[in-house]
């Protein structure tokens, strides 16, 4: 279990293309790991469509429920990019040109000698909820933004990651979540299940997860992950798991299965 | 837009390992694509933790809201596999040995000459909400189940997929969702955004999405996807997109960017 003092996070992945299976999301895992390191555990993620009513209602639900909300997707220049205006609607504020974002894009196209390329579609990327704080975009310039406890990031993975890293220094987390993994190749989860339950009871502040794996060549086994904010407890629980696996005839190894 | 007559689906991905970033989900994309083919569009997906209260509340919320709910994960033998008992609690029915599931597992371990291996932990995999209908598992035997409009699948991708295919003939969908993609390499999304919005207005029953892409070697471009249940309308909208891209100086190609 993560300490109750840790702030919590929810991720909203906004995009029909993920729900249709066209695109495989690549942001959840990155953001989840980084939030763990920062000590703001991700408690929920939702994939929702590019639908105004759904976005507004979901943003309002989760921003009340979690300390931080991250959104990915829907902040480009096209008609299906509606995240930004939906955030304004959710917060009940005007959606209007953001002077600093506007200046960045305007200057960019002027410096290229094509001021006309800062057209109405691209101007939408500099239009934001009133009161938004910019999140820098070192990849493709058009910024994300923070509005209240909602952090609005791009959907394209390398832009999303760059925005997250620009934002990260502003996020204040609790103790980082540390984990240790012990795996035993050739061991069946069903054989160690009862022993693991005992170890979980012994270490209530450590979160013990059991994950069977299969390899196309070479059979499978089980990986057990101990996770928490107290490194000593996590290490002790992982040692108990390894000792129990050995007693059950397995050959536990620290780390993820290769 | 998908036809209002299409049944809808929601996917619940249950597992701390996805929320911590340890595991990258591999089931959403598979299930999303297959549901599109079957004509039951996925309208939402949520990743939630192995937490009894959260699972029960979420299942009850989404089974009232969508025609079908699919869950993945949390049906193994270990202490952190609590999906099955949570479904029973959500439906307010006893969680009890399922005679057919019990017989399958019991017979398996007897046939291997080790009836004792059907231990209390593995017996949990044959314990289900009263009234559940089994979903076959041709990979590792222990079945999933359907309870009302909730379909409970394993989290391990190849078992999840096998269960989905065992279930698929029982799912009755609306018209399948068809799509056509047109992409133009070297074209900037911001240049065609306004024209795309016009085409979207012309084809209100077709869902037109615009997706910029970047290639580590070779620049980027934009892929536009037209999607709907009427193949003629989808084709016509895609042709409009291609014609517009050509008029804007691009070289549109049918299909996904390579």
Q: Which of B1, B2, B20 to mutate to test the interface with A (most CBs of A within 10 A)?
A: B20
CB atoms within 10 A of CB B243: 14
Q: Is the pLDDT of residue B217 over 80?
A: no
State whether residue A116 sits within 8 Å of chain B by CB.
no
Quickly name the fold that domain B178-254 has. Alpha-Beta Plaits (3.30.70)
Q: Is the pLDDT of residue A139 over 70?
A: yes
pLDDT for the residue numbered A1: 47
> What distance in Å separates the CA atoms of residue B23 and residue B19, rounded to the nearest whole number?
8
pLDDT for the residue numbered B20: 95
State whether residue A221 sits within 8 Å of chain B by CB.
no
| Token pair for A123 | 């101007």
* Residue B217 per-residue DSSP state: T
Q: Are A59 and A69 in contact (CB under 8 A)?
A: yes
> What distance in Å separates the CA atoms of residue A164 and residue A175, rounded to the nearest whole number?
19
Q: Nearest chain A Cα to B37, which residue?
A: A20
> What distance in Å separates the CA atoms of residue A81 and residue B229, rounded to the nearest whole number?
22
Comparing CB atoms, the residue among B36, B122, B189 nearest residue A78 is B189
Ranges of beta strands (E only) in chain B are 9-14, 42-48, 68-72, 95-97, 127-129, 133-135, 144-147, 150-153, 178-185, 207-215, 219-228, 253-254
Q: Are B69 and B150 in contact (CB under 8 A)?
A: yes
> What distance in Å separates the CA atoms of residue A137 and residue B142, rounded to the nearest whole number?
48
pLDDT for the residue numbered B110: 97
Instruction: Classify strands A150-153 and A68-72 as parallel, antiparallel or unpaired.
Output: parallel
- Terminal C-alpha separation, chain B: 27
The whole-angstrom distance between A181's CA and the closest CA on chain B is 10
Beta carbons of A50 and B117 less than 8 Å apart: no
How many helices (H) and strands (E) chain A has is answered by: 9, 12
* C-alpha dist (Å) from residue A246 to A182, A185, B128: 11, 12, 32
How confident is the model over A13-64, as pLDDT tens digits?
999 999 999 999 999 999 999 999 999 999 999 999 999 999 999 999 999 9
The whole-angstrom distance between B14's CA and the closest CA on chain A is 10
Q: Is the pLDDT of residue A218 over 80?
A: no
State whether residue A108 sits within 8 Å of chain B by CB.
no
How confident is the model over B70-106, as pLDDT tens digits?
999 999 999 999 999 999 999 999 999 999 999 999 9
Comparing CB atoms, the residue among B21, B81, B189 nearest residue A33 is B21
The whole-angstrom distance between A223's CA and the closest CA on chain B is 11
Q: Which of B21, B75, B197 to mutate to test the interface with A (most CBs of A within 10 A)?
A: B21
The whole-angstrom distance between B97's CA and the closest CA on chain A is 17
Q: Which of A78, A118, A249 to mutate to test the interface with B (most CBs of B within 10 A)?
A: A78
Q: How long a stretch of residues is chain B? A: 258
* C-alpha dist (Å) from residue A1 to A29, A68, A204, B73, B76: 20, 19, 7, 19, 20
Between B216 and B39, name the one with better pLDDT: B39
Q: Are B44 and A48 in contact (CB under 8 A)?
A: yes
Q: Within 13 Å and on the Cβ side, how many CA atoms surround B207?
A: 20
Beta carbons of A42 and B33 less than 8 Å apart: no
Q: Within 13 Å and on the Cβ side, how many CA atoms surround B126?
A: 21
* Residue B145 per-residue DSSP state: E
φ and ψ of A215, to 5 deg: -115, 135
Beta carbons of A21 and B29 less than 8 Å apart: yes
pLDDT band at B256 (very low <50, low <70, confident <90, very high): confident
Beta carbons of B225 and A44 less than 8 Å apart: no
> What distance in Å separates the CA atoms of residue A238 and residue B165, rounded to the nearest whole number?
37
How confident is the model over B113-142, as pLDDT tens digits?
999 999 999 999 999 999 999 999 999 999
How confident is the model over A54-90, as pLDDT tens digits?
999 999 999 999 999 999 999 999 999 999 999 999 9
Between A231 and A4, name the one with better pLDDT: A231
pLDDT for the residue numbered A111: 97
How confident is the model over B2-42, as pLDDT tens digits?
456 799 999 999 999 999 999 999 999 999 999 999 999 99
DSSP character string of B230-253: -HHHHHHHHHHHHHHHHHTT---E
The dotted CATH code for A9-170 is 3.40.980.10
Helix residue spans in B27-138 (DSSP H): 28-38, 52-65, 83-91, 99-111, 120-123
pLDDT for the residue numbered B4: 61
pLDDT for the residue numbered A3: 52
pLDDT for the residue numbered B3: 52
Contacts of B44 in chain A (CB under 8 A): 19, 46-49, 54
State whether residue B42 sits within 8 Å of chain A by CB.
yes
* B106: Cβ contacts below 8 Å, ≥ 6 apart: B115, B118, B126
Residue for token digits 């906004």? A14
CATH 3.40.980.10 domain position(s) in chain B: 9-170
> What distance in Å separates the CA atoms of residue B48 and residue B82, rounded to the nearest whole number?
12
Between B148 and A188, name the one with better pLDDT: B148
pLDDT for the residue numbered B28: 98
pLDDT band at B1 (very low <50, low <70, confident <90, very high): very low
Instruction: Report chain A's mean pLDDT, rounded to a whole number.
Output: 95
φ and ψ of B188, to 5 deg: -90, 135
CATH 3.30.70.1130 domain position(s) in chain A: 178-254
φ and ψ of B219, to 5 deg: 65, -155
């Amino acid at each position: 279990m993560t300490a109750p003092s840790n702030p919590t996070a929810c991720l909203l992945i906004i995009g029909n293309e993920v729900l249709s299976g066209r695109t495989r999301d690549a942001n959840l895992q990155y953001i989840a790991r980084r939030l763990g390191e920062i000590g703001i555990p991700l408690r929920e993620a939702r994939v929702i469509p590019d639908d105004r009513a759904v976005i507004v209602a979901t943003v309002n639900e989760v921003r009340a429920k979690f300390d931080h909300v991250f959104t990915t997707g829907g902040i480009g220049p096209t008609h299906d990019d509606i995240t930004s205006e939906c955030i304004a609607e959710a917060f009940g504020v005007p959606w209007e040109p953001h002077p600093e974002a506007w200046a960045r894009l305007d200057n960019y196209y002027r410096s290229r000698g094509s001021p006309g390329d800062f057209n109405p579609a691209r101007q939408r990327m500099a239009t934001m909820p009133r009161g938004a704080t910019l999140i820098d975009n070192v990849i493709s310039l058009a910024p994300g933004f923070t509005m209240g406890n909602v952090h609005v990031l791009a959907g394209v993975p390398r832009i999303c990651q760059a925005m997250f890293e620009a934002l990260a220094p502003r996020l204040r987390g609790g103790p980082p979540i540390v984990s240790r993994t012990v795996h035993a190749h050739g061991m069946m989860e069903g054989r160690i299940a009862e022993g693991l339950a005992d170890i979980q009871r012994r270490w209530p502040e450590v979160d013990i997860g059991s994950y069977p794996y299969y390899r196309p060549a070479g059979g499978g086994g089980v990986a057990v992950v101990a996770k928490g904010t107290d490194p000593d407890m996590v290490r002790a629980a992982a040692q108990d798991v390894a000792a129990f696996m050995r007693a059950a005839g397995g050959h536990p190894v620290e780390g993820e299965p290769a």
